[in-house]
Structures are given as structure tokens and as C-alpha cells.
């Protein structure tokens, strides 16, 4: 099987679990950043100095690479498994699985785009500041959500507004 031949670089529990259950892969995509050692800022260290920018550049690049491998894996998996199954139940199951994988892939591609935007903003030295109010987003929040573009206050406000629009 092609799946067992895949090279496993990391040995975290989340990574090995995603091998058999595609649901885990979705959850672990967002939790990717937790694999990294948190940044320890020295007292009085300047926010988003070169060292901090490098820290986040590394996180984002690694995350992007993992996602791209994930996308590749999905494509290969679908090619491997797209057999003409005689049993309609099997066919339905396969279609369901494929549509799940397509949605996952779509989600991963959007995430990759957001990661690329974040990397770009590091290059412009704009990374880590709230797009709305300009305040520092904060290292801990960025480590939990490296593609965050809003501070927690603006994000919360945004969600409240969104709920009001939807009714």
C-alpha cells in the first residue's frame, strides 16, 4: 500500500494518529503550532525583533510544508483508491470519503494561502500587529494561531458583529 510507504518525519501522537483517521488530520492542522518550543523573550526584549520574526517564519514555513505534504498525500490516496467498486454501498462510502478529502484539501489550500500572507507580512515587518487597531497581537497568541491578523479584542468584537449580522 502506498500509505504505509509514506515517510514519517515526526513522531508526535497526533501525526501517527492521522495515518488511519482522516478526522484527526483536520484537527491537528490547527494545532500544528503546539509542536514548537514556545519563544522565551528576554526581559525588555523588543516585540517582533529579528529573532522573533525568525521564530515565526520557521513555524509558518514548517506548517506550510506539512500542509503541502498533506495535500499531496490526499491526491495520491484518491488516485490509489479510486477503483470501480461493484457494491453500491462501497461506492457510496468511497464517494463520501472522497468528498470529505476534497473538503479537507480545499481547507488546507486556503490555510496555505493564509500562511503565505503571514510570511509576506513578516517580510514587510508588519507581522504580529492587529490589522484593525494596530496593537501587538502577542507572542503567545501568535504561537497558538500563527496566522492571526487581529488582536483578541478585535477578534472578539468581529465575532459578535458577525453573529448580529447572521441574526
Residues that bind Zn ion (CB under 5 A): 130, 132-133, 135, 151, 154
Query: Are the beta carbons of 10 and 35 closer than 8 angstroms?
Result: yes
Q: Which is nearer to Zn ion, 122 or 151 (CB)?
A: 151
Nearest-CA neighbor of 56 among 124, 122, 108? 122
Can you tell me whether residue 8 is helix, strand or coil?
A: coil
Query: Which one, 62 or 132, has the nearer CB to Zn ion?
Result: 132
Cell matching residue 55: 521564530
CB 105 within 8 A of CB 71: yes
Smaller CB separation from Zn ion, 92 or 135:
135
CA distance 12 to 16: 7
Nearer to Zn ion, 119 or 154 (CB): 154
Q: Residue with C-alpha cell 448580529? A: 164
| Cα–Cα dist 35/37, whole Å | 7
Amino acid at each position: 500500500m502506498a500509505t504505509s510507504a509514506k515517510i514519517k518525519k515526526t513522531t508526535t501522537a497526533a501525526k501517527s494518529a492521522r495515518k488511519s483517521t482522516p478526522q484527526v488530520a483536520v484537527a491537528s492542522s490547527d494545532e500544528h503550532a503546539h509542536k514548537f518550543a514556545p519563544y522565551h523573550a528576554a526581559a525588555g526584549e523588543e516585540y517582533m525583533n529579528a529573532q522573533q520574526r525568525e521564530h515565526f517564519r520557521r513555524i509558518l514555513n514548517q506548517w506550510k510544508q506539512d500542509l503541502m505534504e498533506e495535500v499531496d498525500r490526499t491526491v495520491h490516496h484518491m488516485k490509489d483508491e479510486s477503483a470501480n467498486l461493484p457494491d453500491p454501498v462501497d461506492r457510496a462510502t468511497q464517494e463520501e470519503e472522497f468528498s470529505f478529502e476534497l473538503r479537507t484539501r480545499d481547507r488546507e489550500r486556503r490555510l496555505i494561502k493564509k500562511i503565505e500572507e503571514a510570511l509576506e507580512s513578516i517580510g514587510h515587518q508588519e507581522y504580529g500587529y492587529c490589522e484593525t487597531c494596530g496593537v501587538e497581537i502577542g507572542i503567545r497568541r501568535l504561537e497558538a494561531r500563527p496566522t492571526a491578523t487581529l488582536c483578541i479584542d478585535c477578534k472578539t468584537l468581529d465575532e459578535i458583529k458577525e453573529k448580529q449580522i447572521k441574526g
